[in-house]
């Protein structure tokens, strides 16, 4: 399929600047990666409300907590690998536990970081964030949705984790689409099997659905942008109506989105299911497409998983 | 230098005595807790709640209040006792510490207990959180001040020094931090576990105004805090030399009572000593 390819980070920067204009309570923190995360756009527009803490993510999260405790709406950004694991205790103790109004918008998540290699390719951030009580976890699907998500979470009280990639990603939503928390978006209707994706993998699901259609398989595609809270209604409905589910995520298959869906379905409406994602291994340096092929994140992998589910349905 | 008359100081000292008694009773009732570090910081916390802080126990959310962050969250009994004595909640509630359904969690929980400004307990977080409050105050052109109490064991934590750099970098002269320098941490003397000295020089090198005092002397605590208020362009740290377990003879300087409740006999003796003349 021919997609328009756009930067999520650019839209993050744009949304932040607009928020800065609209609201005086917005403050932004970064840990020496502002030109990469694009919080630098906000810093240029509102230097007095931007704080670069240097390479000190733990310090950033607790400083964010103090600002939020004083009534500020705080966006804290860095690469996902540093903004989750490296400061997990700070997020747990000072953000999630006291339910503070902090939005962690972490960029460069997943294996599509590419050449930097496994040290920078976090494939476990969804797992880390979704087990924290009070934490909302969102994976915007494309650039326009990233913009909508940033705007939406700024109005939501409490802690939110937003996962954004480094690479430019296919635009699969329309300008007119709305982002609704806890309301998964059905991108394509179908009755034979449901392909549930998040982030960059939604475009792969749509490509897989096209391929499956050539073989007479009518696949439903769901953009599960909100991993927590989970839209159980849409998931159970899809399982009931299509009888088989494939999940696809640019994340470890251990405890990511696919696991969340599996847990929901096993308790509510058990159907044959297959999880497409990165196996329980670290990544490596390479270009995006090569890495996605090697680690099982192509539309072919999804098609194959769908056929497996269809066989088990019978 | 301000002169404080004897009666005023004696009044604060008698409140500190009450707070020590509450702390020991709470820990004894709960059957667990941290008496040593609760007693060592009792005078600092008393000076804060009964003289230094601009606050209103009836309006814990008052925007212009001074903020106090107990970074050494295991001294929660002392904080709760001070909050109760100051009027944030009834003194009778203190006996619920660490019990099911209580607002008084084993370590401070923001939003659950009136007057608690930040959830703490995992060590080394409080100074950075206080810095965030100080940045917010500066942004809002507010004059209230931020006070943070750290344990000396927290000087082991890397984040403490990240926060030290940040406060200095952003010229947070509205931050005053105290170190409860009781020289003991869970496993032994601080200098044996992870040597901190020369501690004052370290803070000076990080750009802080440094004052060293006897952390059990009310007058010194108040005077050092007043000095901090006058310092412009940089934060102040007050290294308070204290005695772990201060006020109970067999707890003083003892590692044994870092994280252990007193037995029945020990409790009786502690209360007798604390309540004594």
Q: Count of domains in chain A? A: 2
User: H or E stretch including A89?
Assistant: helix A88-90
In a domain, B1, yes or no: no
Predicted confidence at residue A1, as pLDDT, reads 78
A26 and A107 housed in the same domain = yes
Whether A46 and A153 map to the same domain: the answer is yes
State which residues form the domain around B235: 6-275
How many interface pairs between A and B have CB atoms less than 8 angstroms apart? Answer: 102
Q: Could you say which of A51, A69, A93 has the minimum Cβ distance to residue B122? A: A93
Interface probe for A, chosen from B71, B108, B116, B128 (most Cβ of A below 10 Å), is: B128
Q: A249 with A202: CB under 8 angstroms?
A: no
Same-domain status, A139 and A210 = no
| pLDDT number for residue A203 | 98
Its ipTM equals 0.96
Instruction: Mark yes or no for CB contact B118/A58 under 8 Å.
Output: no
Instruction: Examine residue A179 and state whether it is found in any structural domain, yes or no.
Output: no
Q: Which tokens in the block code for residue B253?
A: 């300087």
- With b meaning 16 or more CB within 10 Å and e meaning fewer, what string describes A275-314? bbbbeeeebeebebeebbeebbbbbebbbbbbbebbeeee
Mark whether A207 and A80 lie in a shared domain.
Answer: no
Q: Are B110 and A84 in contact (CB under 8 A)?
A: no
Whether the pTM exceeds 0.90: the reply is: yes
Whether residue B91 is contained in a domain is answered as yes
The answer to whether residue B65 is domain-embedded is yes
Shortest CA distance from A87: residue in chain B: B159
Cβ A72–B139 below 8 Å, yes or no?
yes
pLDDT at B121 exceeding the cut of 80: yes
The CATH number given to whatever domain includes residue B183 is: 3.40.50.970
Q: Which of A6, A57, A124, A211 is catalytic?
A: A57
Which chain A residues have a beta carbon less than 8 Å from that of B165? 54, 56
- Distance separating alpha carbons of residues A235 and A237, to the nearest angstrom: 5
Domain with residue A86: its CATH number is 3.40.50.970
Residue among B125, B134, B139 minimizing CB distance to A49: B139
> Which is it for the CA torsion A295, A299, A302, A304, positive or negative?
negative
E-strand ranges in chain A read 5-6, 26-30, 50-52, 73-79, 102-107, 136-138, 160-163, 169-170, 185-188, 193-197, 219-223, 226-228, 245-252, 273-278
**Do A155 and A201 fall into the same domain?**
no
User: Smallest CA–CA separation between A139 and chain B, in Å?
Assistant: 27
Asked if the model's pLDDT at residue B203 lies above 70, the reply is: yes
A52 — phi, psi (to 5°)? -90, 115
Which positions in chain B touch A97 (Cβ < 8 Å)? 109, 119
Residue A154: C-alpha distances to residues A92, A150, A211 (Å) = 20, 6, 38
A286 within some domain: yes
pLDDT at residue B1 tops 80: no
Judge: B110–A63 Cβ closer than 8 Å, yes or no.
no
My answer on whether A192 and A162 are in the same domain is no
Q: Rounded to an integer, what distance in angstroms lies between the CA atom of residue A103 and that of residue A158?
A: 8
* Average pLDDT, rounded, for chain B: 97
pLDDT of A65 reads: 98
DSSP label of A3: -
Output the tens digit of pLDDT for each of chain A's 314 residues.
Answer: 789 999 999 999 999 999 999 999 999 999 999 999 999 999 999 999 999 999 999 999 999 999 999 999 999 999 999 999 999 999 999 999 999 999 999 999 999 999 999 999 999 999 999 999 999 999 999 999 999 999 999 999 999 999 999 999 999 999 899 999 989 999 999 999 999 999 999 999 999 999 999 999 999 999 999 999 999 999 999 999 999 999 999 999 999 999 999 999 999 999 999 999 999 999 999 999 999 999 999 999 999 999 999 999 97
User: Which of A62, A72, A102 best probes binding to B when mutated, by most B CB atoms within 10 angstroms?
Assistant: A62
Residue B277 distance to chain A (closest CA, Å): 42
**Domain-embedded: residue A176:** no
A153 falls within a domain: yes
Tell me if B129 and A66 make a contact (CB, 8 A cut-off).
Answer: yes
By DSSP bridging, strand A226-228 and strand A136-138 are: antiparallel
| Beta-sheet pairing, A185-188 with A219-223 | antiparallel
CATH of the domain at A190: 3.40.50.920
**B100 found inside a domain:** yes
Q: What is the pLDDT of residue B2?
A: 61
The per-residue pLDDT for range B20-38, each reduced to its tens digit, is 999 999 999 999 999 999 9
Residue B92 in any domain: the answer is yes
Query: Looking at CA atoms only, how far is residue A64 from chain B in angstroms?
Result: 6
Q: Do B133 and A98 touch (CB under 8 A)?
A: no
A62, A70, A97 member nearest B128 (Cβ): A62
pLDDT score recorded for residue A171: 98
Residue ranges making up the domain that contains A88: 5-170
Residue A6 catalytic?
A: no
A109 with A164, same domain? yes
| A58 and chain B in contact, CB less than 8 A | yes
Residues A110 and A207 in one domain: no
Chain B partners within 8 Å of A70 (Cβ): 67, 132-133, 136-137, 140
Contact state of B132 with A65 under an 8 Å Cβ cutoff: yes
For residue B113, being part of any structural domain is answered with yes
Average pLDDT over residues B14-19: 98
Same domain, A160 and A221: no
Task: Tell whether A13 and A150 lie within a shared domain.
Answer: yes
Of the candidates A49, A59, A92, the beta carbon closest to that of B163 is on A59
Same domain, A13 and A160: yes
A97–B109 CB contact, under 8 Å: yes
Contact B228, B234 (CB under 8 A): no
Domain count, chain B: 1
Q: Please determine, for residue B3, whether its predicted confidence score (pLDDT) is greater than 80.
A: no
Tell me whether residue A300 is in a domain. Answer: yes
Q: What is the DSSP code (8-state) at residue A18?
A: H
Whether residue A219 sits in one domain with residue A155: no
């Amino acid at each position: 399929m021919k997609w328009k390819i756009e930067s999520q980070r650019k839209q993050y920067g744009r949304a932040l600047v607009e928020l800065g204009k609209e609201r005086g309570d917005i403050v932004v923190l970064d840990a020496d990666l502002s030109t990469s995360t694009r919080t630098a756009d906000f810093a240029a527009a509102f230097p007095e409300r931007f704080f670069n803490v240097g390479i000190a993510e733990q310090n950033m999260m607790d400083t964010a907590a103090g600002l939020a405790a004083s009534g500020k709406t705080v966006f804290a950004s860095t690469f996902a690998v540093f903004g989750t694991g490296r400061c997990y205790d700070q997020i747990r103790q000072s953000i999630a536990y006291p339910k503070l109004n902090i939005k962690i918008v972490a960029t460069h998540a997943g294996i599509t970081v590419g050449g930097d290699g496994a040290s920078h390719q976090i494939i476990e951030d969804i797992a880390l964030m979704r087990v924290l009580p009070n934490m909302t976890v969102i994976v915007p699907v494309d650039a326009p949705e990233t913009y909508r998500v940033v705007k939406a979470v700024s109005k939501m009280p409490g802690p939110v984790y937003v996962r954004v990639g480094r690479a430019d990603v296919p635009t699969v939503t329309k300008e007119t689409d709305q982002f609704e928390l806890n309301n998964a978006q059905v991108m394509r209707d179908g009755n034979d099997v449901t392909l549930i994706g998040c982030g960059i993998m939604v475009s792969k699901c749509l490509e897989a659905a096209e391929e499956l259609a050539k073989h007479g398989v009518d696949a439903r595609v769901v953009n599960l942008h909100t991993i927590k809270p989970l839209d159980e209604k849409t998931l159970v409905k899809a399982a009931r109506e299509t009888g088989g589910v494939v999940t696809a995520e640019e994340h470890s298959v251990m405890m990511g989105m696919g696991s969340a869906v599996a847990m929901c379905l096993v308790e509510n409406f058990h159907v044959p299911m297959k999880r497409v994602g990165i196996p329980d291994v670290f990544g490596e340096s390479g270009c995006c497409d090569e890495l996605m092929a090697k680690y099982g994140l192509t539309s072919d992998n999804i098609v194959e998983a769908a056929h497996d589910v269809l066989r088990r349905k019978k | 230098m301000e002169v404080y008359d004897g009666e005023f100081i004696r009044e604060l000292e008698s409140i500190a005595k009450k707070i020590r008694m509450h702390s020991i009773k709470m820990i004894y009732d709960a059957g667990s807790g941290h008496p040593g570090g609760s007693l060592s910081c009792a005078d600092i916390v008393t000076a804060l709640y009964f003289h230094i802080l601009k606050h209103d126990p009836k309006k814990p959310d008052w925007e212009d209040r001074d903020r106090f962050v107990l970074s050494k969250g295991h001294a929660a009994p002392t904080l709760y006792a001070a909050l109760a004595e100051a009027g944030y909640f009834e003194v009778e509630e203190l006996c619920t510490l660490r019990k099911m359904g209580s607002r008084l969690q084993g370590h401070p929980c923001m939003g659950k207990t009136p007057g608690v400004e930040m959830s703490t307990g995992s060590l080394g977080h409080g100074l950075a959180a206080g810095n965030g409050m100080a940045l917010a105050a500066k942004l809002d052109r507010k004059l209230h001040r931020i006070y943070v109490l750290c344990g000396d064991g927290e000087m082991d934590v890397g984040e403490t020094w990240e926060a030290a750099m940040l406060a200095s970098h952003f010229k947070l002269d509205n931050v005053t931090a105290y170190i409860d320098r009781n020289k003991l941490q869970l496993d032994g003397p601080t200098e044996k576990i992870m040597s901190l000295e020369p501690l004052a020089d370290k803070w000076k090198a990080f750009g802080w105004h440094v004052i060293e005092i006897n952390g059990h002397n009310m007058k010194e605590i108040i005077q050092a805090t007043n000095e901090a208020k006058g310092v412009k362009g940089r934060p102040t740290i007050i290294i308070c030399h204290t005695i772990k377990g201060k006020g109970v003879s067999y707890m003083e300087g003892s590692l044994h009572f870092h994280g252990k409740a007193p037995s029945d006999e020990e409790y009786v003796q502690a209360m007798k000593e604390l309540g004594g003349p």
